[in-house]
Chain A
Amino acid sequence: MYKYARPQLASAWRYHNNVVNVLSKNMTDNQVSPAPSGARPFDVSVLADDIAPVTPMRLRTGLMLTALMSIIATVAVALAMGVREDVAALSPDRMFMIRAGALLMIGVAAAVAALSTATPRIGRPTPKAWKWALMLAGLLPLGALISLLNAPSHDAQSLQAKLDPQYGLECLRISALCALGIAAVMVLWLRRGAPTSPERTAWLIGLAAGAFGASAYSVYCPATTLVYIGTWYSLAVAMCAVAGRIILPPLLRW
């Protein structure tokens, strides 16, 4: 037909040919080949004897459990630490709304993507909304960075005043603690399912749990500056996502 100049392209072309040929053949060929002669098929009656009714997994069940655990975490934070005055007065500050909205958006999108891996099937892509949510929420740390770079003074004292590390570390700690409970619920539910990419699911669980955990803490957190929110909340979510990726895959393998 024609030749590619470079061998790797030729190899890619052969691969493409194979993909199309296999697909074409599969579409037209409906033969059933018997088991090879001499093979000893597995005795399926062993499994059939063990049959018992099961409740099919539903995404909405997983989502409801995750939402319930997030609400419990939020109530626990409110009871143990208190609630922001503006939230208690039902007239929340704009920055609180933006912060909570961004976190919930990431949490919901990542939770849907993570929990939907419980029921796998070839040809179905994992929901990608979490990537858009993450990109949108990425404006907060970006805004924090720009705000820091444009600050009139960059000395350590003013930086410390803006970042408020004492509250910031508390934000990390409490968010992670809440995320732990939320991730535990998600993992327990997913262990009944069959996630075929435990590493990707682990990332998504960490991301969702981190976002929900941080949003639980945010009902108490008095900070409203962009620098603080963009730094500490982003760190909390990122830290939980990385921890999820490192810790969770062995729990999700089957």
Chain B
Amino acid sequence: MANQDETLRQLMLAAQQGDRHAYTRLLGDCQLWLRRYFARRIPPSQIDDLVQDTLISLHRKRASFDSNRAFLPWLAAIARYRWIDHLRKVYRADETDLNEDIHAQPEDDAIASRLSLDTLLACLPEKQAEVIRLVKITGLSIAEAAARSGQSEALVKVNIHRGIKRMSAMIEEV
């Protein structure tokens, strides 16, 4: 995952210097990544248009990529902006209904490496991180987690609730 990001980062650096070959390869990889990214967010019939819009944005805003940072979090920020813009346009135009068949795929792999659970959990208070690990990752019940952590069952629930809320906010924050 980290290797994929590093490869894309190197391609982007070359693209920023005007390397056409590297840019073509980068755009091809980004196209695949974006297709997967949008697959669970919009109806399949709209994916092509949104991928195209996002690639054009990537092209226009390529100077905004900071070469000292990872590539996929940048691409994800561009994609999310285009996606929100797309939703706004769709709702304004009232052209489509919400599609219940939007399907999820195991994707966004390398972006997850930047947003890994460990990284996120490290940002939480220890008690919240501990019960999230015990219940959501190890798979213990609330009662078992309470016994293991020394927290009451109610506190375990509250700490999971607060911890995951905080993690969600960290993911959403750009």
Interface residues, chain A, with chain B CB atoms under 8 Å away: 1-2, 9, 12-13, 15-17, 19-20, 22-27, 29-36, 39-42, 44-45, 47-58, 118-126, 192-194, 196-197, 254
A-B contact pairs, 19 of them (CB 8 A): A2-B141, A15-B168, A19-B167, A20-B132, A24-B117, A24-B137, A31-B109, A39-B35, A44-B24, A44-B28, A44-B55, A54-B63, A57-B64, A119-B69, A122-B73, A123-B170, A194-B77, A194-B78, A196-B77
Selected contact of B164 from candidates A20, A33, A56, A121, CB within 8 Å? A20
Q: Which 3 A-B pairs have the closest CB atoms?
A: A26-B112, A29-B106, A44-B27
Please count the residue pairs between chain A and chain B whose beta carbons lie under 8 angstroms apart in the complex. Answer: 182
User: Count of B residues near A, CB < 8 Å?
Assistant: 73
In the complex, whether B41 has a CB less than 8 A from a CB of chain A is no
**A36 / chain B contacts, CB cutoff of 8 Å:** 35, 44, 47
Q: Let me know if B18 is at the binding interface, CB within 8 A.
A: yes
Residues of B within 8 A of A (CB): 1, 15-20, 23-24, 27-28, 31-32, 35-36, 39, 44, 47-48, 51-52, 55-57, 59-67, 69-70, 73-74, 76-78, 80-81, 104-109, 111-117, 120, 132, 136-137, 141-142, 153, 157, 160-161, 164-165, 167-168, 170-171, 173-174
Nearest A residue to B164, CB-CB: A16
- A residues within 8 A CB of B63? 54-57, 192-193
Q: Determine if A125 and B167 form an interchain contact, defined as CB atoms under 8 angstroms apart.
A: no
Q: Are A120 and B64 in contact (CB under 8 A)?
A: yes
